[in-house]
Amino acid sequence: MQLNVAQLLKEPTGSARRHYLVAEIRGIDEGIKPLRPLEGEIELIRTADGVLVMGQLQTEVELTCDRCLEPFAAAISIALQEEFRPTIDVFTGVSLHDTGEEATKIDESHILDLTEVVRQNLLLALPMHPLCHPDCAGLCPQCGQNLNEGPCGCQRPPGDPRLAVLKGLL
């Protein structure tokens, strides 16, 4: 996910480029198991300080359901909006001293690398409690049977007799 932005850095502020990005993201992070490449359109806009990258990217990842522990495919969409700053002046070759993040620097060869920014955005886009479907029944707490596949043969404990009055209200 590297783009050479040397020509864009030579252009006036406000100049823009559009790219359709298709990138294999296997191995980008151990917590992300992609099923499809990351793809979508990005726009690179020359700013006074560098290059603004904006875009909407989509992929599909494998997640594990929090209730039934079965793997399932989930569509993930991320919105990028990040400004990258050069480390070398494109006209003079003079080193620029910038205190910005390492992930948003354009290297001395004028290569803009989206990998770390995409990785961070993908991790933020993952659901905190992934569910294979909203009404997932989960697992039986006694025998471990997947209740989505059918009921188990376990005898349910009668419960706390002090709550019997509340059970009558249901």
Q: Are residues 40 and 80 part of one domain?
A: yes
Q: Are residues 18 and 90 part of one domain?
A: yes
- Cα–Cα distance for residue pair 34/90, rounded to 1 Å: 36
Q: What's the pLDDT score for residue 95?
A: 76
Quote the domain boundaries for residue 6.
2-136
How many domains is the chain built from? 2
Instruction: Report the C-alpha dihedral over residues 156, 158, 162, 166, rounded to 10 degrees.
Output: 60
126 and 63 Cβ atoms separated by less than 8 Å: yes
Q: What's the pLDDT score for residue 130?
A: 96
What average pLDDT does range 129-153 have in this prediction?
A: 91
Q: Are residues 143 and 122 part of one domain?
A: no
Which residues lie below 8 Å from residue 7, measured CB to CB, with a gap of 6+? none
- Cα–Cα distance for residue pair 88/107, rounded to 1 Å: 7
Q: Are residues 156 and 118 part of one domain?
A: no
Q: Are residues 30 and 113 part of one domain?
A: yes
Q: Are residues 33 and 74 part of one domain?
A: yes
Q: Tell me: the pLDDT tens digits for 83-135?
A: 999 988 888 777 777 667 888 888 889 999 999 999 999 999 999 999 999 99
Give the closest residue to 97 by CA, choosing from 52, 89, 117.
Answer: 89
What average pLDDT does range 51-56 have in this prediction?
A: 96
Q: Are residues 121 and 73 part of one domain?
A: yes
3-state secondary structure of 49: coil
Q: Tell me: the pLDDT tens digits for 16-36?
A: 999 999 999 999 999 899 999
Q: What's the pLDDT score for residue 103?
A: 85
Q: Are residues 48 and 106 part of one domain?
A: yes
161: confidence class by pLDDT, cuts 50, 70, 90:
confident
Q: Token pair of 70, please?
A: 């079965």
Neighbours of 162 (CB within 10 A): 7
Instruction: Specify the length of the chain in residues.
Output: 170
Instruction: Report the C-alpha dihedral over residues 4, 5, 8, 9, rounded to 10 degrees.
Output: -140
Q: Are residues 92 and 29 part of one domain?
A: yes
Model confidence, pTM: 0.81
